[in-house]
Amino acid sequence: MKLPNAPDDGSVQGHAGTEPAVADQDLPTVADLSAEASAPPLATAIDLVGILSGVEETAYTWDMTCDSMEWESNVASVLGVRNVKDVGSGGAFQFLIAAEHVTRRQSAFALQAGLTSSDDDQPAAAGGPPSRVQYRFRPHGRRSSTSMWLEDHGRWWADEHGKPARARGVIRVLNERYMEEQRELYRSDQDELTGQLNRIRMTEALAAVIGRAERTGQPAAFMIASINNLSIINDNFGFDVGDSMIASVGRIIADKLRGGDSLGRYSANKFGIILNDCGPGAMQIAAERLLKAVRESSFKSSDCPISSTISIGAVQLPSQGHNVPTAISRALQALDKARSTRHDACVVWEPSPGKESARQRNILIANEVATALDEHRMHLVLQPIVNSRTHEPAFYECLLRMRKPDGTVISAGEFIEFTEQLGMSRMIDRRVLELAVGILKKHPDITLSLNVSSMTCADAEWLVLLHKLTGGQARMLKRLIVEITETTAIGDLDQTIAFVDTLKELGCRVAIDDFGAGYTSFRNLKHLNCDVVKIDGAFVKNLVTDMSDRVFVRMMAELSQAFGMETVAEWVTDGPTAEIVESLGITYMQGFHFGRPINVADLPDTKPRLAAAG
In order of start, what are the domains of the chain with their CATH numbers? 49-187 (3.30.450.20), 193-351 (3.30.70.270), 372-602 (3.20.20.450)
Give the DSSP letter of residue 611: T
pLDDT of residue 112: 41
Model pLDDT, residue 414:
84
Answer with the residue of higher pLDDT: 610 or 65.
65
What is the distance, to the nearest Å, from the Cα of residue 576 to the centroid of all Cα atoms in its chain? 54
What pLDDT is stored for residue 159 in this prediction?
Answer: 85
Amino acid 4: pLDDT: 39
Quickly state the pLDDT bin for 343 (edges 50, 70, 90). Answer: confident
pLDDT at 262: 92
Task: Determine the Cα–Cα distance for residues 376 and 566; give it in Å rounded to an integer.
Answer: 35
What DSSP letter does each residue of 572-593 carry, written as one string? --SHHHHHHHHHTT-SEEESTT
Tell whether the model's pLDDT for residue 136 goes beyond 60. yes
- Name all contacts of 54-61 with Cβ < 8 Å and 24+ positions apart: 55/172, 56/172, 56/173, 57/170, 57/171, 57/172, 57/173, 58/170, 58/171, 58/172, 59/168, 59/169, 59/170, 59/171, 60/154, 60/168, 60/169, 60/171, 61/166, 61/167, 61/168
Cα gap 312→77, rounded to integer Å:
42
In percent, the amount of the chain with pLDDT more than 70 equals 83
Residues 379-400: tens digit of each pLDDT? 999 999 999 999 999 999 999 9
Listed ranges 170-179, 225-234, 516-525, 586-595; the one with the highest mean pLDDT: 586-595
Looking at residues 323-348, what average pLDDT do you find?
92
Q: What is the Rg, in whole angstroms, of the alpha carbon atoms belonging to the chain?
A: 38
76 sits in the region (left: phi over 0; alpha: psi -120 to 50; else beta) called: alpha
Task: Determine what percent of the chain falls in helix, strand and coil, rounding each to the nearest 5.
Answer: 40, 20, 35
pLDDT single digits (tens) 344-380: 999 999 987 777 777 777 788 888 999 999 999 999 9
Secondary structure of 122-139 in the HEC alphabet?
Answer: CCHHHCCCCEEEEEEECC
Q: What is the pLDDT of residue 184?
A: 61
pLDDT at 110: 58
Predicted local distance difference test score (pLDDT) of residue 10: 39
Residue 424 has a pLDDT of 87
H helix runs in 341-485, sequence order: 353-374, 416-421, 425-442, 460-470, 474-477
Max alpha carbon distance in the chain (Å)?
152
pLDDT for 183 equals 62
First to last CA, the chain: 123
Mean pLDDT of the chain: 83
Q: How confident is the model at residue 266 (pLDDT cuts 50, 70, 90)?
A: very high
Pairing state between β 346-348 and 310-317: parallel
Q: How does strand 220-227 pair with strand 298-300?
A: unpaired
- Taking the C-alpha atoms of residue 52 and residue 58, their distance in angstroms, rounded to an integer, is 6
Name the residue among 577, 553, 557, 576 with its Cα closest to residue 565: 557
Helix extents (H) in 296-352: 324-339
pLDDT at 491: 66
Whether 178 has a pLDDT exceeding 90, the answer reads no
pLDDT of the residue at 234 = 85
pLDDT given for residue 514 in this prediction? 81
pLDDT of residue 62: 93
Instruction: Report whether pLDDT(22) > 60.
Output: no
- Whose CA is closest to 453, among 403, 410, 415? 415
pLDDT attached to residue 31: 42
pLDDT exceeds cutoff 80 at 219: yes
The verdict on whether omega for the bond into residue 129 sits within 30 degrees of 0, i.e. cis, is: no
**Rounded Cα gap, residues 223 and 261, in angstroms:** 12
* pLDDT value of position 115: 43
Of the listed ranges 144-148, 530-534, 604-608, the least confidently predicted one is 604-608
Q: What pLDDT is stored for residue 3 in this prediction?
A: 37
Return the pLDDT at 37.
43
Residue 308 has pLDDT above 80, yes or no: yes
Give yes or no for residue 287 having a pLDDT over 80.
yes
- Convert the pLDDT of each residue in 473-507 to its tens digit: 999 999 999 999 877 766 678 888 899 999 999 99
120 pLDDT higher than 60? no
User: Which has more confidence, 334 or 182?
Assistant: 334
DSSP one-letter code for 20: B
- pLDDT (tens digit, 9 = 90+) per residue, 196-212? 898 988 999 999 999 99
Lowest-pLDDT range, 84-98, 290-304, 380-394, 562-576?
A: 290-304
Is residue 579 over pLDDT 70?
A: yes
Closest C-alpha to 285, from 53, 293, 209, 543: 293
Distance from C-alpha of 79 to C-alpha of 605, rounded to nearest angstrom: 87
Residues 6+ apart with CB under 8 A from 224: 266, 270, 271, 272, 273, 312, 313, 314, 328, 331, 332, 334, 335
Give the helix ranges, DSSP H, for 256-296. 280-295
pLDDT on residue 132: 87
